[in-house]
Each structure stands twice: as C-alpha cells, then as structure tokens.
Amino acid sequence: MTEAPERYVGGGVPRKEDPALVTGEAHWTDNIKVQGMLHMALLRSPFAHARITHVDVSGALEQPGIVAAFTGEDLVEEWPGGVPTGAHVTDDMKEPFHPPLAHGEVNYMGDAVAVVLATDRYRAQDALESIEVEYEPLDVVTNVEAALEEGSPLVHEDLGTNECFTWPLEVGDVDDAFNRADVVVKERYIQQRLLPNAIETRAVVAMPDPGHDGYVVYSASQVPHLVKIILSLATGIPENQIRVVAPDVGGGFGSKLNVYAEELLALVLTKRLGRPIKWWEDRSENYQATIHGRGQVQDIELAATNEGRILGMRVKLLDDLGAYLQLLGPAIAPTGALMFPGVYTFDAFSVEVKGVFTNLTPTDAYRGAGRPEATYASERIIDALARELNMDPVEVRRKNFYEPFDEPTTTPAGIQYDSMNIQAALDRVMELAEYGSLRQEQRQRRENNDPVQLGIGFSTYTEICGLAPSQALAGLGIGGGGWEAAQVRMGMSGTVEVATGSTPHGQGHETSWSQIVADALGVSPDDVVVLHGDTAVVPLGRDTYGSRSLSVGGVAVWKACEKIMDKAKKVAAHMLEAAEDDIEFEAGTFSVAGSPEQSVTIQDVATTAYLGADIPEGMEPGLNENYVYEPTNFTFPFGAYICVTEVDTETGKVNIRDFYGVDDCGPVINPTIVEGQLHGGLAQGIAQALYEGAIYDENGTLMTASMVDYMIPGAPELPNYTLERTVTPSPSNPLGVKGVGEAGTIGSTPAVINSIIDALEPFGVKHIDMPASPMRVWKAIQNAQGQQAGERQADASVEARAADVEQGGEE
C-alpha cells in the first residue's frame, strides 16, 4: 500500500479513467455479446405528421434471420404508461400519450412505427425494407409561433391545442419599471435547435435475469437509477425486478439524461421473447430520435436609466418542445428562466414561458439546459443597452453587478444566489486580455479601413447548478428528489470502495472521489476504487446532470467518510487505551496527543473493526458507512469571458483569435479535470455561436441529417483558451464547491456573438443570428450598409425638401 501523507484535493492527480479509455479497454454497451442475443432495428417515419393507414410486418418475417417483428398496435398492452415525462410544470400542462412505437399517427420524422428482431444487426436493418406502411400525410407545423396561431395544424388533435403550458413569473412592479425608464431596449433572439453528438450514440442491451426472476438492462445512460424506476412505472414490472447498468458511457451532454422509447422496447421485448435484445443507434437515428437541445424564441426587453442602471426586465419565451414530452422537456425553459437576470441586480423582473408542441423531434436537456439560452439573451441585451447609451459594455455591466457577497442573496427572479464576486473575475479577465491594447488595435483597424476588423466580446455569467434541493426541484415541477447517496466501505486491509449514486460518463468522478476519500481517510487515491452506474451495486442515487455530482454526490462521499472517521477514532482510542478526545489524526495515523509513539494506522483500525473481537462494547463491527446528502441550495458558479474575433468583412469569415476566461467554481478538487470540463464546455458554446444548428424544411424533414451537413467544430475551428480561476466558496455545502460541467457552454456563446457585433459596429450591424456563418455575417454587413445608405438617402431627400421649403419651393 502506498503511503498517503499529503492532501490530494486541489492537486492534479491524473485521471484514473483514462488508461482504459485511450487503450480501447473500456466496456461499452455495444461490446456486450450474450448467448442467444437478438438485434433490434426500428422502422422510422419519413413523414413529420401522418396518419398510419396500414402497417404490415409479414414481409419482414420472411427475411433470413428474422425472429420477430411487431407494430405499435401489437405491443399496446406492454406499456400502460407510455414514455413518461418527469416534469409537470403547471397543474394544467397538457401531456400527450407517448407510445414507444407509434400507432394511428406519427408526429415527427423519426417516430418509430415498427420493430424487427434478428440474429444479427444487418439482417434486422435489411428486413426493415420489407415492412409495408401506408401513410396519409397530415399538415405539419414546425414553427412555434405558427403553432400558436388560430387554425394551425395540431400536433395532437385530441389535445385541441399546441400549447402545452404557460408558466409565468413576476417579481416586483415591472410595468412601473418600464414607465420610469429613460431607455428601453428590446430584442428578439432565436435559439436554434442543436443536435447532441456524444461520441458513443445510444445503446441498450436488455436480458432476462432468471436467477433473480427479473431483467438486466445495460444502457449507455447518464441516469441508470432514473431509468430503473421509470421502466418499472411504464411497464408495470416491479422495480426490484429491474437492474440497470450504465457501463462505460461515451458522453451524454444531457442527451442521455432521459428514458427513451428504445429502452422500453428492449425491455418489453426481452420479457415477451425471453431472449436478450440489443439495439444501438446509428448516427442518422441519433440525429432524428435522440432529443435535441435549445429551440427557443426569446423576446427580451430591458428598462434602464440614462446612466445605464437597469430598472426592470421583461421576457417572453416560446419553447419548442417538439412532438412529445421527454423526461425533463417541459422543465428546461422554466428552470433557465430563473437565470435571465444573470449577474445583474435590479428590482423588477417578469418572464412568461410557453411550451409549444411542433412536429419535430422532442427537445430536452442539452449541456446547460435552459441556462445557456438565458445567459445568451441577458448578455446580448446588456450589450444592446451599452450601444444605445453609447457606453463601454464593461461600464454598463459594472453599474449593475452585485456587490461581492458570500451569504445567500435574493435575485430579481426571487431565488437565492449562494456567493459571488463577479468584479474580481471581470477585472482579471480584462488584465489577461490586455483590454486597453485590444481597443487600441481595434481603433487602428477601423481608422485604416482594414478589411479584417477586430471584435472584443464580453460575457459575465452565472448559472444555477448542483441540482438540487428536493423541495426546490418539486417547486419546479420536477419529481424524484435531488439528493445524492454514497457508501464508503473500508475493507479489512484498509483499502476503500466507494459506491456512488452519481453516474459519470466523462467527468472523472473516479479520480475526484478518490481524492476526496484519500484526504478524508488518510489513504492514497490508488487505494480507492469507485463503483458507479450499476443499480445492483451502488445505493439508490440520482445520477449525473445539472453539474450536480461534486456539490451533491461528492459531498455525500465526504460526509460518509466523516462517519467512517468518527467510528475509526473510537476504535483507535479503544486500541490505544486512551480517551477519544486525546486522539489525533494525521496522514492516516491515529496517535495519542503528546505521545506520538502510541499510534495505529487507519489500516490497523480497519482490520480491528472487522475482526470485531476488540472494539468498544456495543459497537457494530466494520467500517462501512452510508450518507444521503440533501443540499440546502443550488450552487451558482460564475465567470467572465472575453472573446477576441477577427472578422473578415469581405467574406464574412470569423476567426476567434483569442478566448480569455476567468471562472469561479469555488475550491477545486482536480484542476486538470476542471480545465478539461471548461475546454469541452467552451467548444460546445462556441459551436452554437458559429457552427451548429439543426435545419428542417417546411415539411418537417431534417435537412442536417448527417455529419456531412451538421457542422461540428474540430480542433482547427477552435481557439486556444487562456483560462484562470478565482475562488469564492459556496455556503451551500461543507466543501464550498460549485459545479463546472456546463460553465463553459453557458458563458461562451454570447461572448462570441457580442464580439462579432462589436467588430462590425462601424458598419451598423446590431444583430446576427446563430450560427454566425460567413454567409450570415456577410449578409448582415450588406443589409446594415444598405440600410445606412437608405437612411443617408432618406436624410438627403428630407434635407433637400427642407431646403426647397425654405426657398419657398413648396408644391
């Protein structure tokens, strides 16, 4: 066993997970091969909205290797609950029944209509061509505003409306704020749909588990615990007869925070046929049938004084839910809505969210889930206010920041931020970027009419994460609890197993949790094994999303270690025949105060605790503790970004020359992991600003249906990042930690767009839709110049007319 004298928390301990991942030794769901396994393939609708007048799978059954084939009608009895949502944001929210296999009607392109099971995947796929389906196309609605218009085609006729819910919030007197305002700025932003692209697409293997009279479901999921309970509720199979295992999972970014039709299908078919069933998604299916992210129309207004002080904010959101409600779909926009005020404090705020059905793929959580959208709008409009008042974007921000605080502070949306010092982050990022010289360079380029203009874009953000206090979640209509569980088991020899309820899929919990345990118990991280993702092995947990794992799950691990230490100290006192109060602990060794030679190691204590023969009377043998941690509040990381762009005004091409960031996620467990999380997050935020976006035609056909058409940036499209951190501990948890898994995605997008608009200020460009492709940027320049020329012409003709009038030349 290695000696463990140092503090590991805060050190750059190499990721334990990486050797297996980079040497091809990881256990992916698709690697699972089981005797008698059948492969499932799904026939998906090419129409976005159509009545199914006829389905016949008999042709498929005649194909070689086909064992079974079913239509939606055949399986209706198997899923009384359908694919349920776990988010009920208003009492009168409309929830359409969501069958895993459509029957009667398809409601988006990719809706599955029939399933085939074969002895190998290729046969299953080929046999889909022999299924006969007749569709009667129905009118399609793909646009949220059109969907709310009188006479719009209805996605679900039986609901009588496309409006799923209206969620309002008003704090303070908003009308009064707008009446009192010297200036009002009003903008409309479109959050384009994004397609999540985890390296590993979704995959599931379901099999009977005769030994336990139940079923095992392997799924490339972020949420095996949620999958287990929801599969049980949807199928009626008792919860204790379903074991769900998430093996190594190749990323999720929120898209695997769901329970999908295919998981349900695999389970009910394994139950029906008594054979293991495997399904994995190809990339085209991924684009059609895995949830999409974003998809909002945002109307935002800011009321302010001439000095740049914000008085009030009004927001109206239309949230494109797609055709069905997935696990958290309805809750994404309302949760994000709480964050529109961002890092600015003012008196009056209102927001109204309308969830709207369209004939498109359902939307749900995608990295940031509601908060990138909110941050984008507030960071864009604060720049619009600066332009309106002819102020520096830094100055207008500073006028509205909170004074630094380290105790819960109420926000305009009525929630409580935990702690913040946004000034410090902004000061530091400006130093890093050498703001003064950047503005000087910008001036020079403008004076020289340089075809390549320089843009300096800011974003000062905060986000809500660390989901969450159970009560707060219930208030947002999200059932299921927000606590997290941990079990820490020190073995007889003093090595440690940690069973965590969080489910890492790229975030490095094995390393971070080992560091926490190593410091708490005085062992080496190498002596800690972290178990996760198997509902039969780890305590019932709430999994990984909402940048919650460290500030909830990691804290649970630390609290369980505290319990171990309390007990170990008692055992050590007993072994050393000393009073418990006289026992000291350092670097894995208990000793008696004042006589350090009287000592035992924690490993000795573990052995004694398990042997049980020489422990305090009445004590339970062993060193094995559970903790379920219920957080008291969310955590609110924050930060400041500067994006420096070079915009080619002749071609519209944008090059991010530099990207500076100062983030604050409280004390850090593993700086290398935090940096990695930020790099990935920034890449996704920049991708939304410049490259990515799902495009549908008016019939609801996905035009960006493959990686050829959907632009995911690679290393050449992304800049080097210059990153630093400030440390403002959270009072919400005993480690003071805040989340970081989504921070980069939340803060970066507006910095990029603000930078482009800043570069093009001399051309009069005030707005560019995302993704800001060269064509869009070029057109924005042309339009703005056209408008300016038009205005100049109009001004000239008014002047000419005025001159005529003066000279008595009136007609």
Q: How far is the CB of 674 from ligand MCN (least distance, A)?
A: 5
Nearest to 483 by CA among 629, 650, 344, 677: 629
Nearest distance in Å: CB 544, ligand MCN: 5
Residues belonging to the chain: 811
**The one among 107, 270, 544, 591 contacting ligand MCN by CB under 6 A:** 544
**In angstroms, what CA-CA distances link 381 with 170, 188, 400, 743, 747?**
19, 9, 13, 20, 14
- In eight-state DSSP terms, residue 352 is E
**Of 633, 677, 749, 754, which lies in the binding site for ligand MCN, with binding defined by CB under 6 A?**
677
Interaction of residue 548 with ligand MCN, rule CB under 6 A = yes
Stretch that binds ligand MCN, among 152-160, 175-183, 320-328, 664-672 (CB under 6 A): 664-672
Q: Does 246 bind ligand MCN (CB under 6 A)?
A: no
For ligand MCN, the binding residues in 269-328 under the rule CB under 6 A are none
Query: Is 541 a binder of ligand MCN (CB under 6 A)?
Result: no
Residue 706, SS3 per DSSP: coil
Of 354 and 367, the one with the shorter C-beta distance to ligand MCN is 367
E strand or H helix that includes residue 440 = helix 435-447
CA atoms 83, 89, 92, 94: torsion sign: negative
Which CB, 319 or 484, lies closer to ligand MCN?
484
> Cβ closer to ligand MCN: 96 or 554?
554
In 613-636, which positions are buried (b, 16+ CB within 10 angstroms) versus exposed (e)? Answer: eebeeeeeebbbbebbbebebbbb
Q: Compare residues 293 and 455 and give the one whose CB is closer to ligand MCN.
A: 293
Cα separation values, 299 from 170, 313, 387, Å: 16, 11, 18
Nearest approach in angstroms of CB 22 to ligand MCN is 13
Positions in 166-185 near ligand MCN (CB under 6 A): none
The vertex-712 CA angle with 706 and 717, nearest 5°, equals: 145
Stretch that binds ligand MCN, among 181-189, 234-242, 245-253, 711-719 (CB under 6 A): 245-253
Residue with tokens 């929120």: 254
Q: Name which of 442 and 512 has its Cβ closer to ligand MCN.
A: 512
Q: Is residue 110 near ligand MCN by the rule CB under 6 A?
A: no
Q: Write out the E strands in 63-194.
A: 66-71, 105-106, 112-118, 132-137, 163-171, 183-191
What residues from 359 to 378 belong to the interface with ligand MCN (CB under 6 A)? 367
Stretch that binds ligand MCN, among 27-35, 415-423, 547-555, 645-653 (CB under 6 A): 547-555
Q: Does 629 bind ligand MCN (CB under 6 A)?
A: no
Q: Is the dihedral of CA 723, 636, 17, 281 positive or negative?
A: negative
Under the binding rule (CB under 6 A), the answer on residue 462 touching ligand MCN is no
Q: Is 264 helix (H, G, I), strand (E, B) or coil?
A: helix
647 binds ligand MCN (CB under 6 A): no
**Which tokens is 130 given?**
């022999």
* The only residue of 224, 247, 251, 541 in contact with ligand MCN, by rule CB under 6 A: 251
Cα–Cα distance, 273 to 116 (Å, whole number): 12
Q: What's the rounded Cα separation, in Å, for the pair 332 and 320?
A: 11
Strand partners, 117: 40, 68
* Pure H helices in 553-668: 555-576, 602-611
Residues between 485 and 524 with contacts to ligand MCN, criterion CB under 6 A: 505-509, 512
**Selected binder of ligand MCN within 110, 254, 480, 525 (CB under 6 A):** 254
Q: Which stretch binds ligand MCN (CB under 6 A): 246-254, 339-347, 348-356, 646-654?
A: 246-254
Compute the least distance from the CB of residue 9 to ligand MCN, in Å: 8
252 contacts ligand MCN (rule: CB under 6 A): yes
**Would you say 363 and 291 are in contact if contact means Cβ atoms under 8 Å apart?**
yes
Site map for ligand MCN, 726-745, x if CB under 6 A? -----------xxxxxx---
Q: Are 332 and 546 in contact (CB under 8 A)?
A: no
Question: Is residue 13 close enough to count as binding ligand MCN by CB under 6 A?
Answer: no
480 near ligand MCN (CB under 6 A)? no
Task: Determine which residue in the list 219, 298, 363, 549 makes contact with ligand MCN, applying CB under 6 A.
Answer: 549
Quote the least distance from Cβ 532 to ligand MCN, whole Å.
Answer: 11
Contact with ligand MCN (CB under 6 A) among 107, 670, 732, 749: 670
Binding of residue 79 to ligand MCN (CB under 6 A): no
If the CB atoms of residues 251 and 412 are measured against ligand MCN, the closer one turns out to be 251
| 525 touches ligand MCN by CB under 6 A | no
Does position 765 bind ligand MCN by CB under 6 A? no
* Nearest-approach distance from CB 555 to ligand MCN, in angstroms: 10
The tokens for 353 are 């969210």
User: How near is the Cβ of 600 to ligand MCN at its closest, in Å?
Assistant: 31
Q: Which is nearer to ligand MCN, 144 or 668 (CB)?
A: 668
Q: Is the peptide bond before 771 cis (omega within 30 degrees of 0)?
A: yes
What span, in angstroms and rounded, lies between the C-alpha atoms of 361 and 436? 46
**230/84 Cα distance (integer angstroms):** 8
**How far apart are alpha carbons 113 and 70 in whole angstroms?**
9
Q: Annotate each residue in 782-811 with x if it binds ligand MCN (CB under 6 A) or - if it does not, as one string.
A: ------------------------------
C-alpha Rg value of the chain to the nearest Å = 29
545, 386, 352, 406: which is closest to 456 by C-alpha?
386
DSSP 564: H
- CB closer to ligand MCN out of 334 and 554: 554
**Which residue, 24 or 210, has its beta carbon nearer to ligand MCN?**
24
Nearest to 407 by CA among 127, 804, 731, 810: 731
Q: Which of 674, 752, 765, 780 binds ligand MCN (CB under 6 A)?
A: 674
DSSP codes, 765-808? ----PSS--HHHHHHHHHHHHHHHHHHHHHHHHHHHHHHHHHTT
How far is Cα 457 from Cα 642, in angstroms, rounded to an integer?
5
Q: Quick check: 69 and 114 in contact, CB under 8 A?
A: yes
Here the tokens at position 459 are 């974003």
Binding window for ligand MCN (CB under 6 A); candidates: 22-30, 115-123, 248-256, 391-399: 248-256
- Tell me the one-letter amino acid at 325: L
Which of the residues 376 through 435 are near ligand MCN (CB under 6 A)? none
Stretch that binds ligand MCN, among 66-74, 264-272, 483-491, 674-682 (CB under 6 A): 674-682
Interatomic CA distance for residues 64 and 123, integer angstroms? 7
Q: Which is nearer to ligand MCN, 368 or 412 (CB)?
A: 368
Q: Are 530 and 456 in contact (CB under 8 A)?
A: no
Q: Which of residues 17-56 bind ligand MCN (CB under 6 A)?
A: none
Distance CA 761, CA 810 (A): 38
Site string for ligand MCN, 121-160 (x = CB under 6 A): ----------------------------------------
Q: Does 688 bind ligand MCN (CB under 6 A)?
A: no
Q: Is 463 in the site for ligand MCN (CB under 6 A)?
A: no
Which positions lie near ligand MCN, rule CB under 6 A?
251-254, 367, 505-509, 512, 544-551, 554, 665-666, 668-670, 673-674, 677, 680, 737-742
